[in-house]
A = this chain, B = another copy of it.
């Protein structure tokens, strides 16, 4: 169980973006340099963030990205969903007729994984970009 770097980078980049977008659009190049994330990889990630209406792009020189919503309304769950970070812990489907392991019944730990997923998702749903911004200010030197 681990988070993939795509989801992690997405959050890092958005926090970075949120700290600067009041004044000007922020270029991926800047984010890349500040956060140490490959520019090409960032482009892939922002392509998805844009499709999911989390950011807007502004083209041309001095262009870049800006948030498309209030930081308070961007929950972590939105971000992860946008970059295809799956929180599914187990592949047994809820509605599958055949049950989990090819048998007729649900596997004996099925309920557990459902519960775990809910637990994790709740955490992500309650956490917004705004929370991270505040948190970061507190711990900055």
Which residue numbers of A lie inside 8 Å of B, CB to CB? 1-4, 7-8, 11-12, 15-16, 35-36, 80, 85-90, 101-103, 105-109, 111-113, 116, 119-120, 123, 127, 132, 135-136, 139, 141
Contacts and interface: CB of A to CB of B under 8 A. Distances in A.
A1 B86 contact: yes
Given A1-B2, A101-B36, A111-B135, A8 B90 contact: yes
A12 B111 CA distance: 12
Given A102-B36, A120-B120, A132-B112, A90 B3 contact: yes
Greatest chain B CB density within 10 A among A1, A8, A86 is at A1
A4 B1 contact: yes
A103 B16 contact: no
Contact of A12 (B36, B107, B135): B107
Nearest to A88: B2
A118 to B, nearest CB: 10
Contacts of A7: 1
B1 A109 contact: no
A6 to B, nearest CB: 11
